[in-house]
Amino acid sequence: MIALLVCGTAQAAKSIAITIDDVPISSKTPYSVSDAASVNSKLLAALQKHHATAVGFVNEDRLLVRGQVDAGIDLLDQWLIAGMELGNHNFGHVGLWKSTLQENQDAVVKGETITRWLTATRGKPLRYYRHPFTQTGRNAEEKQAFEDFLSARGYTVAPFTIEHDDYLYACVYDKLTLNQDEERTSAVIENYLAHLEVSVRVYESMSDQLFGRQIPQILLIHATRLNADALDAMLMKLEDMGYRFVSLETALLDAAYQTPTKESRQFGPSWLARWARAMPKKLTVYGQPDPKDATADMALKLCAN
């Protein structure tokens, strides 16, 4: 009985913040504003059901659909009405590898026009920036210069610690949805949820190896059809794994997030891997394993380009 109580206490101590990139929608197939509205409505419903306060990171260029800009603005407004936050993911999803520092700074400013107005209207903060591709710079000087720029505009960089190849599963899901292949889309969700659990366990191991404890984790997913249909089950699985949901603000209060990182260069792994590199500290694992299920096999055929 004592062992069970100890185990239950340890599980209850785990926490995770939910962050969703590429709002209003990320899709590998054509989409309409109504498609984006459906995706966001489902995401928000799942978050509210599980009492999870998420941050949606906006690419404002995706709102500029002739004759439907107001609908796109209303879509963002629903995040704030639902008690969520909005963050800046820049205009055009410009990264710090193929584009210059100045181009990234311009994309930040251009990408906050509507969002800053909306958040001010609702009395909500606009305080987080998520780098596209989570690329933080080609070198230490560029990383520092960009972070100084962000800070001057009132932004805090939004890190992440957990990802689970959702772009790969989402691409397959989009292609199958376009072909109305309901049987295989259901299988994609099953594989996706299984890979989530495997991935979370890996990142838990990294946290233990780096800090000797479970830090508040930060999950990065995208505003896709797949996540719209799977988020309720994902959040339920995380709850079953002993997680409670916290805001990004609360997660970032943990001392672990003050650990220095180096520039990302081209690739943007979990902050757990970045901290290990900067310490430096050798880990037994450095990120989620590549999926080896039927969906991964389909991805080679459907999402090769």
pLDDT at 223: 98
Decide: 37 and 75 in contact? Cβ < 8 Å: yes
pLDDT in tens, 231-274: 999 999 999 999 999 999 999 999 999 999 999 999 999 999 99
pLDDT above 60: residue 11: no
- Fold of the domain built from segment(s) 14-302: TIM Barrel (3.20.20)
pLDDT in tens, 182-199: 899 999 999 999 999 999
What mean pLDDT value characterizes the chain? 95
Give the residue-averaged pLDDT of 161-167. 97
pLDDT at 132: 98
E strand spans, 96-225: 128-129, 156-157, 217-222
Instruction: Please give the torsion angle defined by the CA atoms of residues 88, 259, 247 and 142, in that order, rounded to the nearest 10 degrees.
Output: 0
pLDDT band at 87 (very low <50, low <70, confident <90, very high): very high
Give the residue-averaged pLDDT of 121-140. 98
pLDDT in tens, 52-79: 999 999 999 999 999 999 999 999 999 9
- Rounded to two decimals, the pTM is 0.95
pLDDT at 5: 37
pLDDT in tens, 198-241: 999 999 999 999 999 999 999 999 999 999 999 999 999 999 99
From the list 57, 296, 43, the residue with the least C-alpha distance to 168 is: 296
| Three-state secondary-structure class, residue 58 | strand
pLDDT in tens, 14-24: 999 999 999 99
pLDDT above 70: residue 2: no
Decide: 111 and 94 in contact? Cβ < 8 Å: no
pLDDT band at 115 (very low <50, low <70, confident <90, very high): very high
- Name residue 178's amino acid: L
E strand spans, 179-276: 217-222, 243-245
Distances (CA, A) of 84 to 40, 78, 88, 161, 242: 12, 9, 14, 20, 23
pLDDT band at 13 (very low <50, low <70, confident <90, very high): confident
